[in-house]
Chain A
Amino acid sequence: MTAPASVPAPAATARAASSTATPPPRPAGRWKPWLAFGVIALITAVTLSPQLGIAFSLDAIARNWQNGAAKIVQLLQPDWSFFPRTIPPMLETLEMAVIATAVSTLIALPLSLWAARLTNPNWVGRGVVRVILNIVRAVPELLYAAILVAMVGVGALPGILALVLFNVGIIVKLVSEAIESNDAGPLEAGRAAGGTQAQINRAAALPDVWPSFVNQVLYVLELNVRSGTVLGLVGAGGIGLLIDAVRTYFRYDQLSVIILEVLVVVILLELVSSAIRKRLV
């Protein structure tokens, strides 16, 4: 494209100056983007084919269009009398998000120190924590919630547990990466002064990662409110229970009240947390 990967060495420039000016050769490998494009188009064709793929058919959409249009008209006429009933479950979602954030913060702080090289020189312990958390992070929180509901019963408890599980994975990953990118100087000073690893972490590492830790906690709180709104779809408490109820009765006029409420809460929270972030930096 603009710059070839290899810039001609000074010898080449000298050569160009001595002989007549010939344009440099075109960079090799211009076919590569086209190959990538071809592979992508091929995979897309396979995924859209009726036998192997998801059977993309326009006529089903055309047939259902009437039905869908009616639903969307309903969606555009929110049933505001439904609003008072949405408040208690929405509060439950917020409570779940706050509790899950608080609990996972307490669990994640020591684990992130445990998972970073600078604060835990022992690679065995570090590796174990990282592998377990990579596995935990690979499963979305809603699937955890579905399983936990079957284990401990319907209610806010499985929802909070699912959020905590997922949050710990995210916070530890992001914060331990922040620790790794920090300056090792203060920690070495601590070691030179004869501190134990725990003392070094407390006095030198924690003050350094504190802003990024608070940052990630805020981010996780936002995530929790957002996913806390849908956890109820599997019976794990919060406003999702109500979403599930109105969707089984196809009350799209009530669904739109809930969606608007979720929108307002999520956007307000985003504004608050970005204001806090600005003060932090």
Chain B
Amino acid sequence: MSAIAPPRPSRTRSRVVASIVCVIVVVAFWSVDINWARLGNLPSEIVRYLWLMFSAPDWSKLGEALYQTWRSVEMAWVGTVFGIIVATPLSFLAAKGFGPPPVQAALRGVFAVIRAVPEIIIAIIILSVTGLTPLTGALALAVGGIGTLGKWGFESIDGVPRGPIEAVRAAGGSTSQVLRWGVWPSASPEFLSFWLYRFEINVRASAVLGLIGVGGIGDMLTSYTQYRQWGVVGMLLIVVVVVTIALDAISGAIRRRITEGAPVHDLER
């Protein structure tokens, strides 16, 4: 019998999926309330504004900008520290085999709900107690951090090899000793890198929180955008970009050092 080519794989399903996606996109374009005629001169407008912002950035306000940046970074730092302090014990409770199962499920639900709410909405709720201060921003970032740090934390504890834990239990260790000697040594690199990563997220989010008036660089940026002082806005954007990239680079270097371990010096002893 001559060789028969196998039948072509059916493409019906991928075609159906593709057409559903297309329909959704077309409906969205068709129903959104935008004056598409405005899109025509948009590129030239944007080039004009970019020119206004970056042809002559106004460096006279640099001192204030750096001060406000420091306030934003402070918010991010305090938010990260508070988030870590609350989230770490909670993530142990939410991990398999440490807390009672109902607590486990409840905490996992709480983490999911917090992660679904943007930090800026958390800040709007908190500011009814603390007012429009940087503390509000820090607390909002801390609450937001509980959602992400808690989730990453229990996932990482769930992934810890069971051997050392059983060994500590077999040797008669208490729960806290199990955590210290069975879980922490293998989970700590991941925890440290989550914490740094959350700090990077908080640096960005703290700039955003300024929009509702809690202070920091975002506050200054919105004010000068409303005054339409484009030279200052350009300078502020440059400051935001430089500070964010610098902090990312530092924290990224520390994270790599933690996850990849120390460079080996003394093998040839």
A binds B: yes
Chain A residues engaging chain B, CB cutoff 8 angstroms: 1-2, 5-6, 9, 12, 40, 43-44, 47-48, 53-57, 60-61, 64-65, 67-68, 71-72, 75, 91-92, 94-96, 98-99, 102, 134-135, 138-140, 142-143, 146-147, 150-153, 155-157, 160, 226-227, 229-230, 233-234, 243, 247, 250, 252, 255, 259, 262-263, 266-267, 270
**A262 touching B116 in the complex, CB below 8 Å, given contacts A6-B264, A6-B269, A54-B71:** yes
Docked-complex contact B131 and A64, CB < 8 angstroms = yes
8 Å CB contact of B118 from A6, A99, A229: A229
Bound-state Cα–Cα, A47 to B261, Å: 30
Interface centre among B45, B75, B135 (most CB of A within 10 A): B135
8 Å CB contact of A259 from B74, B121, B211, B269: B121
Which residues of the other chain, A, contact B237 by a CB distance below 8 angstroms?
139, 143, 147
Bound-state Cα–Cα, A28 to B34, Å: 65
Q: Which chain A residue shows the least CB distance to B73? A: A47
Which residues of the other chain, B, contact A55 by a CB distance below 8 angstroms?
133-135
B65-109 interface with A by 8 A CB criterion: 71, 74-75, 77-78, 81
Which residues of the other chain, A, contact B207 by a CB distance below 8 angstroms?
139-140, 143
Chain B facing A: main interface SS: helix
Bound-state Cα–Cα, A95 to B32, Å: 6
Would you give the 0/1 interface string for B253-269, flagging 1 where the beta carbon is closer than 8 Å to chain A? Answer: 00000000110111101
The 9 A-B pairs with the shortest beta carbon distances in the complex, nearest first, are: A68-B129, A71-B128, A54-B134, A98-B28, A138-B244, A266-B116, A95-B28, A47-B74, A95-B32
Nearest-neighbour CB distance to chain B for A43, whole angstroms, equals: 6
Binds A, one of B3-11, B150-158, B219-227: B219-227
**A140 touching B31 in the complex, CB below 8 Å, given contacts A9-B269, A230-B118:** no
Interface size on B, residues (CB 8 A): 67
* B113 lies within 8 A of chain A by Cβ: yes
Which residues of the other chain, B, contact A91 by a CB distance below 8 angstroms?
31
- The count of A-to-B residue pairs whose CB atoms sit within 8 angstroms is 171
* B25 lies within 8 A of chain A by Cβ: yes
Bound-state Cα–Cα, A227 to B264, Å: 44
Chain A facing B: main interface SS: helix
8 Å CB contact of B138 from A54, A92, A151, A262: A54
**A140 touching B24 in the complex, CB below 8 Å, given contacts A54-B71, A146-B211:** no
Which residues of the other chain, A, contact B240 by a CB distance below 8 angstroms?
138-139, 143
Docked-complex contact B77 and A44, CB < 8 angstroms = yes
Q: Which chain A residue shows the least CB distance to B124? A: A247
Docked-complex contact A146 and B205, CB < 8 angstroms = no
Which residues of the other chain, A, contact B265 by a CB distance below 8 angstroms?
6
Bound-state Cα–Cα, A171 to B114, Å: 25
Bound-state Cα–Cα, A67 to B225, Å: 32
* B170 lies within 8 A of chain A by Cβ: no
Interface centre among A40, A142, A266 (most CB of B within 10 A): A142
B212-233 interface with A by 8 A CB criterion: 212, 218, 221-222, 225-226, 228, 233
